[in-house]
Amino acid sequence: MKKMTQVAVLLVIMPFSLLAAEDQPNVRTITEQFQDWTVACVEQEAATVCEARHAITAPDGGVQGQISISNRTDAEDQLLFQVALPLLADLKRTVAVQVEGKTKEEAHQF
């Protein structure tokens, strides 16, 4: 539950940090749409942070969750993968990630 709270807080803070960055003169923000994904990059001096996010929609069309991938400035060879799910989601089930037709299933402890 603690990790879920941290992920939820990050997903709430990230858009506000991007908006705050737009007010600074030495910061450049770029946002682009690629099919169902939104990519937002913030360039500030020597560091650039980019986040690609995709909304998970329910059958009725409402947003049910969000996944995002972003680079890290403290570890350039690693990516940060975040999943935001609704409350009461069954976190004991195996997580399956499918990219370009290849599926990888992993069990994670939450």
**Residues 14-33, buried b or exposed e (16+ Cβ, 10 A)?**
beeebeebeeeeeeeeeeee
Per residue in 48-63, pLDDT (tens digit) is 889 999 988 878 878 7
Which structural domain, as residue segments, surrounds residue 32? 2-106
Distance CA 108, CA 94 (A): 7
**Under a CB-based contact definition with an 8 Å cutoff, are residues 28 and 40 in contact?**
no
The number of folded domains in the chain is 1
Confidence (pTM): 0.55
Per-residue pLDDT of the chain (110 residues; tens, 9 = 90+): 445 444 444 455 555 555 554 556 688 899 999 988 999 999 888 788 899 999 888 788 787 888 899 987 778 788 888 888 777 766 677 766 667 777 776 665 55
Q: Which residues contact 18 (CB under 8 A, 6 or more apart)?
A: 29, 40, 42
Residue 50 phi/psi, 5-degree rounding, is -120, 145
